[in-house]
Structure 1
Amino acid sequence: MARRWAAQLAGTNGVTLSAGELEGVLMSVAEEAYARADTAKEAAIQRFADLYSATPVGVLLADQEGRVLDANPALTHLLGHRPEDLAGKPVTDLCATPKDTEAVLAGLEDLRSLRKSRHREPVELEHAEDGPLRTHVTIAGLPGDTPGTIYPVLLVEDVSELSLLREALRKQNVQDPLTGLPNHRSFVNKLEATLALPDDDQIALVYLDVDGFKVVNDGLGPGAGDQVLRHVARKLEDTFSGHGAFLARLSGDGFAVLMRGALTSAAVIDLVEEAMTELAEPVYVDGKGIGVSVSVGIVVQDAHGRTQEDLHRAAEITLHRAKENGRAQWMLFEEELDSRDRRRYGIGAVIGGALENGEFELEYQPTVKLDGSDEIAVVNAVLRWNHPEHGVLGPDEFFPLADTTGMTPSLGRWLLTRSMADAAAWHAAFPATPDLCIRLPLRFAIDPNLVGIVRDQLESTGLPSHKLRICTDAAALSDPRGEVLEALAVLADLDVKITLAVAAGADLELIHTHQLPVGFLILAGPLVDALASEGPEADTARKHLAALLERAAALGVKRIGAEGVHTVEHARRLRELGIVAGRGRLYGRAATADEITSLIEQRGPRPVGS
């Protein structure tokens, strides 16, 4: 070819070289180009070999019959085989199950017939020592030695750790890691699936809370608390697992049991009592025997037409009722009680918004002197709630709920600040005004900030401290959560008058026991009520009241009032015993701040010297 091209070029105008010389030049160029092509080919082959050896993905080369020709180091390491052990074996010998063998054979067939690579898919391959290994395999092809031939290549990725991670995450999503029980999400899913079944069965939902769990956690540490929870989980499993029950841990110390079938309330209660008996046996943690009790709410109803939300709320409310009734007991769902409790909890849930929206207001109950003058000695501040749905609610209806929701301090502060502002306005307008008496709700009475709030309000309103009376009772004085006695002593030093509400002689003895700085008593309860009646009951009440007043005088308290004065005769009998003032139905309904202003104008107290 070089000779022919040289002969043609030699006859061309402008070419000065002979044909022989041209042939030599062309041969040199050809040899140089060939050498360069060989070098590029060898470099490409070397790059492929390096990639094949270094890639972390397992690569298996097979022949057209699907037998192993070669495997890179990543694959032999992954499967625990030596290259010579794999050579000549059918690729399918590496598959762990018949299903995996079918998947690989299908991929090889697709490659032969359709010239189509098989997409990445999960396949379990057999490790030489450790058994099945989870992998992802992609089957591709490389051109063979002769035209039209194709050799399979298997690209193998180890996904066993990824699979383990996914399984761990799945378990975290549906399983409680401490007890091994299903978690709250899993329980909700199970409940919804159970309710979706077509059978017209009974469904039982049992909610359990460990009583006093915070005492265990705080007293012995969270490690002991964890052991107690695992103990409770085991005991509940022992009791309920043989009855087709689904058991879960819902919260910190809360558990739930779900059952469906031909159930009766009596049968479910029997299981609950059995579990409570088992749990009563102490669990020992570091040699310390910890007693465990649970409060239980039980709901047994027709499954048809129920929703997960309705059943959950019914079980929660029934559990709350069990706790309120003293703990360590079960309560069975009752429709009537459920309606009542839903109303109560519905009221308690919106106290914060009601306070912000101005639904609360103050009323004042006048306490009138029993000497016939009808002078107002004291006005007692009372908080009312104008509820948009349930009408006017008194303190007894919402303060217990406010304790549960943590709203009592906010309500107590509002009561204190508003009433003291009203009293300051009366004092500024009139030469003589009645004292303001505030009976604080229990949770606010034990508030450590009480003294600071009172001091700030005295300063900001200008109300003289001696015009303020703070009323307390035996419940507040006995409550271990606050330093009530110290607070009362500080308030007395500020010249605030301390009043004690008394229902019986035992309440009176608190003055002596705690050396209380009490200047006034307010009597209420059965003894005062009985004095309004006739016959032996009134005589007995008179004797007890006389003894109580004698003891009060001995303790240095001589100014005593009564609550619940019904009639003129009732007032007379109280006055004869030495009670100096009273409030109740005889003196009219509670009044607004403006109405109290009018009463002060009409009925005093009288200015000094008049």
Structure 2
Amino acid sequence: MESPGLAALFNLPREGMVALHCMHNGWLVMLAFIVATAAGFTTLGITERMVHARRRRGRLTWGVLGALCMAGGIWSLHFLCMLAFRAPIPIHYTLPATLASLIIALITAALTMFTLNKPALPLRRYVVSAVCIGLGISAMHYSGMLSIVSPASQHYDPRLFVLSLILAVAASLVILLLAMHFRRRTTSRQRLLKLGASALVALAILSMHFTGMHAMTLVVPEGTPLELQPANDTLQLGLSIGLVTLMIVVISLGAAWTNRKLQSKERDLRRVNALLRKLDHAQASLKKAAHHDALTNLLNRRGFNALFAEKLEEHSEQHRDMAVMFLDIDHFKRINDSLGHDAGDELLQVIAQRIRSAVREGDAIARFGGDEFCILASLEQQDDARLLAQRVMQTMKEPIALAGRSMVMTTSIGISLFPQDGDACDELLKHADMALYQSKGSGRNHFTFFSERLRSKASFELELEEDLRKALARDEGLQLFYQPIVDLRSGRTTKLEALVRWQHPQHGMLSPDRFIGIAEANGFITELDGWVLRRACQDVARFQARGHPPLIVTVNCSALNLAHEQLPDEVDQALRQSGLQPQMLELEVTENALMSNINRAISLLQEIRQLGVSLAIDDFGTGYSSLAYLKRLPINTVKIDRSFIQDLAATEEDRQIIQAILAMAHALRLQVVAEGVETQEQVSFLRDQGCDFMQGFLFCRPLPMAQLESFLAERPELPLPLSGQISLV
């Protein structure tokens, strides 16, 4: 026996040699195909695992396993097909050449896995890699052919030899492209496609192998005994190799499947962790939204209360002082009314930033809503609260550019201290609010510390509120006093102004300035105004029914009631129930009440005027009305505020103002009433200037209706100074 190796020439000898007719065992070829398909499928799965491995060590491990699986599959296909080869001469295989073909297969498979571990490559790189891998597969095949030891020599057809190389390169390119395609996450349908692709690759390599085998011709010298060799040993060896290879492939496939399941669980776990992180983030966002103001990003009331409770407990344990400061922006409503709510929101953001810059690190700031803010500050010494309040007020006074304007805002502050003013959150907040209310009531733009006096005042006002509600509900204690309004031309009383008084069971007779503000602040001024209107109409109707001359009664209407849409109906109902003629009723509204909502006020007053009721502007000259608005108002009378009358004798400016008001009112055909007349000099000046009516203590103080009847019976006319009798110039 000899091992001639690859023939140096590709031409068959012409004389003295016999070409052998060879065949293959179909079962071993089928086994080789199955082994190659399984190996290809497993290799594609391992490629997927390698690409998605998160660590470099994992990718290397999967790459080595994939190379072993691929090399084993290709080499097993080749060797099983070699064992399936049947010739009429004895054939053996040398171990060194067989091992060499296995090593070449391993190197080729390693190159394949190295290429597949890269990201997407240009087609040129794929072609180069395919050529290298294809030549490697061919080298494995032909080195395996070199392991054949037999009496025959091998001769190759050059065309089929080249074709086998081309098929090897084409199969390699198909392997790379399919592997790159299937290395992504696969579904059940794609696994079936992957199995089909593996069978296609196995068929391509098998075609390359048989093309190479078909290119080979075995020749022996003439006279060589020919006899087909038994296949028992070869078949057993082939089956053993195939089974071992299949076991290796199955184990690799099982490892890949197990890893895929583990990775799937790991991905699920990462997904769950990601969802948990998103949930935590969402909870944090919701918590922030629930505890922070969206406009200023400060704490809201809920967040402040939670923090306040923690701070209070901490300061109580450490015996430290703390200040609670309520802030309210002075006249903030004017910004919303004049510039709009967007400008108001922008202003609130600027104010929040300024407050934040004025407080110290560790102090808490909250916006409770609207223009109301609250500061929680730790105190090292008692004067820290005063200094902080002054710093905040000074910061607020800096000009603010808003909607093309430069404006200066001020703030009122109320302060309560822990533990002096309370040891509970609600108590401290309530006391700070009382102090803020005092600051606003004292002219605004300053701060006030809570004191027991404020507590007593608040308690007193709360008591008055409860008692006033009971008085209205039971119609007890409230009384109407009437002050005459005198006609300056005749000296006769032609009008009465109804003024409410309250006979309190503990505090005696209370004037309106003691309880009107309470009614307005607590939302039942409409009920009080309605009671005054009904009682005044009833009293004057009875007065006339007893034979007295008809008198016009004037009733005050608060600013809040002027915005009440049902006001015309209430006036009409009061007239109908009392039987008083509409021309005997005059409704007084203050100038500031009219200007707060002029368009709505004009509409309501026109409805009341259509009933036949007269209308008057009270406290004229103290507000912001203009001649343009005055022309639009359906009024009959203006009343000059008492502040212009008091210093009439000494102040030239007040005399000029009165002259201007009289001239303007008479030009608009309006009657004029002067309030607060107390001296004959004032009467003389007003009569000389053509004033129509006057009222004041000079003639009569407000009296109950019973006493007023006696007074008017005794003095039907009041003596007036002659024109020009007293000069005020």
Query: 1:588 pairs with 688, 700, 717, which one?
Result: 700
- Superposed, 1:312-351 pairs within 5 Å as 312-321=429-438, 329=445, 331-333=447-449, 335=451, 338=454, 342=458, 346=462, 349-350=465-466, 351=468
**Whole-angstrom distance in 1 between the partners of 2:380 and 2:504:** 44
**Whole-angstrom distance in 2 between the partners of 1:215 and 1:360:** 39
**Whole-angstrom distance in 1 between the partners of 2:399 and 2:267:** 48
The answer for unaligned runs of 5 or more in structure 2 is 1-257, 260-265, 719-729
1:272 is the counterpart of 2:388: no
Shift of 1:279: 11
Query: 1:565 pairs with 677, 689, 692, which one?
Result: 677
Please report the TM-score for the alignment, with normalisation by the length of structure 2: 0.49
Q: Are the aligned partners of 1:210 and 1:292 in contact in 2 as well (CA < 8 Å)?
A: no
Deviations 1:416-450 (A, max 9, x none): 12211222222323262211111222222343332
**Whole-angstrom distance in 2 between the partners of 1:228 and 1:539:** 43
Shift of 1:380: 0.7
- Superposed, 1:167-178 pairs within 5 Å as 175-176=291-292, 178=294
Q: Are the aligned partners of 1:377 and 1:605 in contact in 2 as well (CA < 8 Å)?
A: no
SS at match of 1:406: coil
**Whole-angstrom distance in 2 between the partners of 1:505 and 1:132:** 71
1:554 is the counterpart of 2:673: no
Query: 1:444 pairs with 557, 561, 578, which one?
Result: 561
**Whole-angstrom distance in 2 between the partners of 1:523 and 1:220:** 34
Query: 2:577 pairs with 452, 460, 480, which one?
Result: 460
Instruction: Summarize the Cα distance change of 1:215–1:450 in structure 2 as closer, same or farther, 3 Å threshold.
Output: same
- Superposed, 1:211-360 pairs within 5 Å as 212=332, 240=359, 242=361, 244-251=362-369, 254-263=372-381, 264=383, 265-269=385-389, 271-273=391-393, 276=396, 295=411, 297-299=413-415, 301=417, 303-304=419-420, 306-308=422-424, 309-321=426-438, 329=445, 331-333=447-449, 335=451, 338=454, 342=458, 346=462, 349-350=465-466, 351-357=468-474, 358-360=476-478
Query: 1:525 pairs with 618, 630, 642, which one?
Result: 642
**Whole-angstrom distance in 2 between the partners of 1:173 and 1:477:** 41
Shift of 1:472: 3.1
Count matched residues: 447
The answer for unaligned runs of 5 or more in structure 1 is 1-83, 86-125, 134-159
Instruction: Summarize the Cα distance change of 1:590–1:236 in structure 2 as closer, same or farther, 3 Å threshold.
Output: closer
Q: Are the aligned partners of 1:364 and 1:593 in contact in 2 as well (CA < 8 Å)?
A: yes
User: What amino acid sits opposite 1:556 in the alignment?
Assistant: R
Please report the TM-score for the alignment, with normalisation by the length of structure 1: 0.58
Shift of 1:395: 2.7
User: What amino acid sits opposite 1:368 in the alignment?
Assistant: V
Shift of 1:391: 3.8
**Whole-angstrom distance in 1 between the partners of 2:336 and 2:635:** 39
Shift of 1:381: 0.6
**Whole-angstrom distance in 2 between the partners of 1:521 and 1:306:** 50
1:406 is the counterpart of 2:523: yes
Shift of 1:566: 2.1
**Whole-angstrom distance in 1 between the partners of 2:668 and 2:646:** 24
**Whole-angstrom distance in 1 between the partners of 2:316 and 2:573:** 60
RMSD: 5.1
**Whole-angstrom distance in 2 between the partners of 1:381 and 1:347:** 26
Q: Are the aligned partners of 1:499 and 1:519 in contact in 2 as well (CA < 8 Å)?
A: yes
- Superposed, 1:113-152 pairs within 5 Å as none
**Whole-angstrom distance in 2 between the partners of 1:317 and 1:204:** 14
**Whole-angstrom distance in 2 between the partners of 1:281 and 1:600:** 61
Q: Which is further off, 423-432 or 505-514?
A: 505-514
Query: Which structure carries more strand by proportion?
Result: 1
SS at match of 1:267: helix
Aligned match of 1:364: 482
Aligned match of 1:419: 536
Work out the percentage of aligned pairs sharing the same amino acid: 21
Instruction: Summarize the Cα distance change of 1:213–1:363 in structure 2 as closer, same or farther, 3 Å threshold.
Output: closer
Aligned match of 1:197: 317
Shift of 1:383: 1.6
User: What amino acid sits opposite 1:584 in the alignment?
Assistant: G
1:186 is the counterpart of 2:309: no
User: What amino acid sits opposite 1:203 in the alignment?
Assistant: M
SS at match of 1:312: helix
Q: Are the aligned partners of 1:565 and 1:571 in contact in 2 as well (CA < 8 Å)?
A: yes
Shift of 1:251: 4.9
Q: Which has the higher contact order (CA 8 A, sep 6+)?
A: 2
**Whole-angstrom distance in 1 between the partners of 2:502 and 2:646:** 27
Shift of 1:412: 1.6
SS at match of 1:483: helix
**Whole-angstrom distance in 1 between the partners of 2:694 and 2:669:** 20
Shift of 1:555: 3.0
**Whole-angstrom distance in 1 between the partners of 2:575 and 2:563:** 19
Q: Are the aligned partners of 1:434 and 1:605 in contact in 2 as well (CA < 8 Å)?
A: no
